[in-house]
Chain A
Amino acid sequence: MTHFIEVFFQAFPLLMDGLKFTLELAIISIIFGLGIGMLIGIFRVYGGKFSYTLSTAYVELIRGTPLLVQLFILYFSLPQIGIHLSPFVASVISFSLNSGAYQAEYIRGAIQSVEKGQMKAAFSIGMTKWQSIRLVIMPQALRKVIPSWTNEFVYLIKYTSLAYLVGVPELTAQGEFAASRNFEFMNVFSGVALVYLFVILIVTWLFSNLEKKVKIPGV
Chain B
Amino acid sequence: MKLLEVRNLKKSYKSKEVLNGISFDMDKTETVVVIGPSGTGKSTMLKCINRLVEPDDGQILLNGMDVMKARKIEKIRQRIGMVFQDFNLFNHLTVLDNVRIGPLKVKKLQKNVATELAMENLKKVGLTSEAKSYPSQLSGGQKQRVGIARALAMNPDLILFDEPTSALDPELIAEVLEVMRKLALDGMTMLIVTHEMGFVREIADRVIFMEKGEIVESGTPEKIFNAPEKERTHQFLAQFTKFGREK
Contact = CB atoms under 8 A, between A and B. Distances in A.
Interface in B24-51: 50
Contacts of A127: 74, 102, 105-106
Contact of B92 (A120, A125, A139): A139
Contacts of A126: 74-75, 77-78, 102, 106-107, 154
A109 to B, nearest CB: 17
Given A120-B84, A123-B52, A135-B105, A128 B74 contact: yes
Interface in A142-161: 143
Contacts of B150: 121, 125
B110 interface: no
B50 A124 contact: yes
Interface in B129-183: 133-137, 150-151, 154
A1 interface: no
B77 A121 contact: no
Interface stretch (A8-16, A201-209, A211-219): A211-219
Nearest to B154: A125
A122 B154 CA distance: 12
Secondary structure class of chain A's binding surface, majority of residues: helix
Given A139-B92, A216-B92, A125 B136 contact: no
A169 B105 CA distance: 48
Which 5 A-B pairs give the minimum distances between C-beta atoms? A126-B78, A218-B136, A117-B88, A121-B88, A124-B82
B91 interface: yes
6 contacts: A118-B88, A217-B133, A217-B134, A217-B136, A218-B135, A219-B136
Interface in B56-75: 74-75
Nearest to A217: B134
A125 B78 contact: yes
Interface residues of A, number: 22
Interface of A: 115, 117-118, 120-128, 131, 135-136, 139-140, 143, 216-219
Interface residues of B, number: 30
A125 B106 CA distance: 8
Given A117-B86, A124-B52, A127-B74, A216 B91 contact: yes
Nearest to B50: A124
Contacts of B55: none
Contacts of B105: 127, 131, 135
B88 A125 contact: no
Nearest to A122: B90
A219 B134 contact: yes
Contacts of B221: none
Contact of B74 (A120, A123, A218, A219): A123
B101 interface: yes
Contacts of B107: 126
A136 to B, nearest CB: 6
Nearest to A139: B92
A158 to B, nearest CB: 32
Nearest to B52: A120
B91 A140 contact: yes
Nearest to A129: B74
A115 B90 CA distance: 10
Contacts of A122: 90
B119 interface: no
A118 B80 CA distance: 17
Contacts of A128: 74
A117 B88 CA distance: 5
Interface string B89-101: 1111000000001
Nearest to A135: B105
B213 interface: no
A118 B101 CA distance: 13
B109 to A, nearest CB: 13
Given A120-B84, A121-B84, A125-B154, A143 B134 contact: no
A114 to B, nearest CB: 8
